[in-house]
Chains A and B, each alone.
Chain A
Amino acid sequence: MSSEGIAIVGGGIAGQSLCEAVIGRDPDARVTLVCAEEHLPYDRVRLSEILVSGEGPEGLQLRPEEWYADNRVEILSGRWVEALDAQRAELTLDGGERRSFASVALCTGSRPLMPPIPGLDLPGVVPFRGPEDCEMIRRAAGEGARVAVIGGGLLGLEAAYGVASRGCAVTVVHLMDRLMERQLDAGAAAMLQPAIEALGVEVLLERQTECVLGDERATGLRFAGGEELEADLIVVSIGITPEKALAQSAGLEVKRGIVVDDRLKTSADRVLAVGECAEHRGTVYGLVAPIYDQARVAAVTLTDAESDETYNGSLQWAKLKVMGVDLVSIGSAEGPQEAVTANAEGPLYRKLVLADGRAAGAVLLGDVRGTEALLDAIRCDDEVADPLERLAAAAAATAADLPDGAQICDCNGVCKGDLVAAVREQGAGSAREVMALTRAGTGCGSCKPMVKEVVAEATGGAAEEPAFLCPCKRQTREELARRIGEEGHTAVSDVTAACGTGRECGLCKPALAYLVSEVNDNRHREERSARYINDRVHANIQNDGTFSVVPRMYGGVTTPDQLRRIADAAERYEARMVKVTGGQRIDLLGVAKEDLPAIWRDIGMPSGHAYAKAIRTVKTCVGTDFCRFGIGDSIDLGVRMEREWEGLHTPAKVKSGVSGCPRNCAEATVKDIGAVAVEGGWQLRIAGAAGGTVREADVLATLETADELLRLATVFLQYYREHADHKERMYDFVPRIGLEEIRAVVTDERRSAELLERFRIAKAAAAAKDPWLERDEPYHPRQFEDLDGAGGRAMGELVGPPEDADEGAVPALVGPPEDGER
């Protein structure tokens, strides 16, 4: 390519994919990416996610800022192209700057189609297309708001789901007689509707919107026939139209989209078009998958003038991203020959469409197993003798059955062959590494199980995950632990100096801090600067920079005297809220950092470690002490557990519970470690969860006495402390290792004795000092204090002459220069 480089106009998925494809073919290519939006290219396909999560658009960003610098991509964000001289491949940017290139690729995408109805310009009417729209929808659609979504297609349903999950009453208004009529046949659409309604979204079909009601702002819709619908917010999502204005004014051939040939060239030789703005052989694609196909061929055209590689159109297929509704549509939804398996109860609908005896389309609702296999069959026009049998076989397909061309990750367009190549050619040994190399699974994440399966097959079975402690150090927890032990490192800085790559990052420092303490049985050299602020001041930082204070109450048992002291302290230090926690403790919220030592002193109770990755609470029911159903002394066991383990740090927090009978009032079966009294003894349960996911704890063993239970639970706890990854909760750790393996270790006489011995050594050091005693012996005079008020003899006073005249003062300018390397 000439030295003038390639300009890509548009920072959507098309622009980004093309940019990556070009660099992938020619790492020396000089690419300039012009994005009209202020943010870096992001994944618009996942837009509804940020509507649900309420997060900013950053989470959807396709590549971090460093990526562009590393690949020497010039990125002009917030800039737009005023004019294009197609013959000279010259862009006029906003402000009048002109730049000419060897080639220009138009990836201008599309804009929302707005129906020609009166009132659409009223406040309270928004399209659903970009992060700005999500932000506006979020602001306008508070809990209880009534929202009408015009359009019952893929994007409209995703928008409706996003808004409904915010607690709004949502009505989808659709012109046609069934939802998603472009992708679905009547049978699947009939099952989709109740599934959508089950999410709390009302569906109105065959409604032609005549106008938006309201004077100052939108108040509702009127349909043909006079029927009206009240709404506080109206979201329009009826489709998209190619953004072709720039091409049009440049004199390029334009029909529905910018017309391109099989090499993605427009009517001008040096100008290409890719993505939703392009029209190829009469088709404008509005789905994401074809964009990758186009970008790949366009990159060949741009980097290899001699190549005769052509783009021959794409198979259209889509996946609905609505929680709880699995739906995939591939190719034709209807055809001359069809095989369907359906069950309205499920709902379940699986259909394979044939044309001339070859696979031509599929609709999968409720059970989308076999998507990859069917996609591949349809893409390759496979001959199918028995479509029902083929549907069943697809559902049972494993990674081994898939051909190399089968696309696994739709978000990033990664095929099975790419994953296998990452293992065989680039030496990746784990799914995590393969995902980092290929970016498979880094989008919506729904393909991760399949990625793992493919990697397991390619690496020869064992999908053992060498999880790196942190991406900045390509070393696993085990390797680092071994080196810390063998080489005798006792502090984080020793480890980073000896084992690191010379860099350290703020994210893995706390992980190393735990590892150093654990391997050294808590006889390590503490470096507070490697700890989270929570562990530097022994309190939990809140969103406003204040802290929360939770004193330890063993087993959730307290006394009037303790309560009195807590109440007095809460008043004296003006805690903004006093809250009873889920773990049966009292939380004082909104405490200033500098008040922490005094409040601890006044309360006079030990730290509850509610801020740390450590032994947290043991929740108990009243058990045999008071309860007429109790069969085990749950309070006694809970208090003993808590005292036995108190003060120990762990890879992730550990919450426990003890119930005195199988009625399980202490919810012990959803705790990391739980004990439940049963007839004749105690059941030890591990790895339960009741957070983002709910997982019933596994029964590790049933034991005759509380003493035996405490011993076995302690052995398991120590095993977890020694083997879990940083932030890996027990509910992830136990399934990863396997319950049988854990049972074998903790019941082995010799190994359990060794674990118990190491536990005792670690515990002795940990229990030696309650962290809240640092109120009297801080590790630094300003452990809890900022610099205000006591910052020196004349805080805030101007010192010395202005800097220009200040040579005599020996000013040591410290820190690297501003352009210093990182």
Chain B
Amino acid sequence: MIEVCAVDDVPLGEGRAATVAQRRIAIFHADSGWYALEDGCPHLGGPLSDGILADHCVVCPLHDRRFDLASGEALTDGEGVTAHRVEVRGDRVCVELAPARALASAA
């Protein structure tokens, strides 16, 4: 587990980007909890951390592609993104990076 930020660092309902172990990830503070996904949309690299959160999904700010916050699965067209495990320990938000390129959309 790698510590990324404090719980106060991400406003409720929004996301922020972080670089962890040289990888760009997006940390989301949703109503239903904390999530982490690979930050770049597989379409054209849009920053998912800047997307709107709703209904357990994030919407890419560039072309409205939607991804499941928990699994990274694409709910619109195209590939999904890697999802990382998140834990809150006290007031700290920690992530465990999933192996790179392993897509969560194997289902």
Contacts and interface: CB of A to CB of B under 8 A. Distances in A.
B67 to A, nearest CB: 10
A563 interface: no
A796 B20 contact: yes
A543 B63 CA distance: 10
A811 B64 CA distance: 33
B5 A506 contact: no
Contacts of B87: 811-814
Interface in B9-62: 9-14, 16-21, 27, 30, 32-35, 43-47, 49-59, 61-62
Nearest to A508: B54
Nearest to A503: B55
Contacts of A786: 16-18, 49
B1 A803 contact: yes
Interface in A777-812: 779-783, 785-788, 791-792, 794-800, 803, 806, 809-812
B52 A509 contact: yes
Nearest to B27: A787
A374 B23 CA distance: 61
A56 B77 contact: yes
A507 B59 contact: yes
A797 B14 contact: no
A531 B51 CA distance: 9
B86 A814 contact: yes
B61 A61 contact: no
B77 A798 contact: no
Interface string B67-103: 0111100011110000101111100101010000000
A817 B88 CA distance: 15
Contacts of A531: 52
Contacts of B14: 528-529, 536
A529 B92 contact: no
Contact of B53 (A58, A529, A783, A811): A529
Contacts of B30: 815
A533 B41 CA distance: 15
A507 B68 contact: no
A541 B50 contact: yes
A818 B71 contact: yes
Contact of A797 (B3, B8, B32): B3
Nearest to B105: A65
A806 B85 CA distance: 15
Contacts of B56: 816, 820, 822
Contact of A543 (B5, B44, B49, B94): B44
A527 B13 contact: yes
Contact of A787 (B18, B46, B51, B62): B18
A317 interface: no
> Which one of B9, B78, B85 has the greatest number of beta carbons of chain A within 10 Å?
B9
A573 to B, nearest CB: 19
A46 to B, nearest CB: 15
Contacts of A59: 77
Contacts of B53: 506, 529
A815 B89 contact: no
Nearest to B12: A529
B55 A504 contact: yes
Given A786-B16, A822-B68, A791 B4 contact: yes
Contacts of A504: 54-55
Main SS class of interface, A: loop
B52 A816 contact: no
A64 B77 CA distance: 8
A476 B66 CA distance: 24
A812 B91 CA distance: 11
A785 B87 CA distance: 22
Contact of A792 (B6, B47, B83): B6
Contacts of B9: 781-782, 787, 791-792
B33 to A, nearest CB: 4
B50 A533 contact: yes
Interface string A684-722: 000000000000000000000000000000000000000
Contact of B21 (A532, A796, A820): A796
A225 interface: no
B89 A545 contact: no
A814 B33 contact: yes
A544 interface: yes
Contacts of B35: 815
Contacts of A536: 14, 50
Contacts of B96: 803
Contacts of A544: 45
A788 B54 contact: no
A532 B1 contact: no
Given A545-B45, A799-B2, A788 B77 contact: no
Interface string A472-495: 100000000000000000000000
A530 interface: yes
B77 A61 contact: yes
A119 interface: no
Nearest to A780: B11
Contacts of A815: 30, 32-35, 69-70, 86
A529 B70 contact: no
B78 A56 contact: yes
Given A782-B11, A797-B3, A811-B87, A541 B54 contact: no
A779 B45 CA distance: 27
A530 B53 CA distance: 8
A814 B89 CA distance: 10
B94 to A, nearest CB: 6
Contacts of A794: 3
B81 to A, nearest CB: 14
B51 A506 contact: yes
B5 A822 contact: no
A786 B19 CA distance: 9
B34 A506 contact: no
A799 B92 contact: yes
Given A504-B54, A506-B64, 13 more contacts: A61-B77, A505-B55, A506-B57, A510-B52, A533-B52, A541-B62, A545-B45, A787-B17, A788-B18, A796-B2, A813-B87, A815-B35, A816-B32
Instruction: Name the 7 nearest CB pairs between A and B, nearest first.
Output: A529-B13, A58-B77, A506-B59, A814-B33, A787-B18, A815-B33, A533-B50
11 contacts: A61-B77, A533-B52, A781-B8, A782-B9, A787-B18, A791-B5, A792-B6, A792-B9, A795-B4, A799-B94, A800-B94
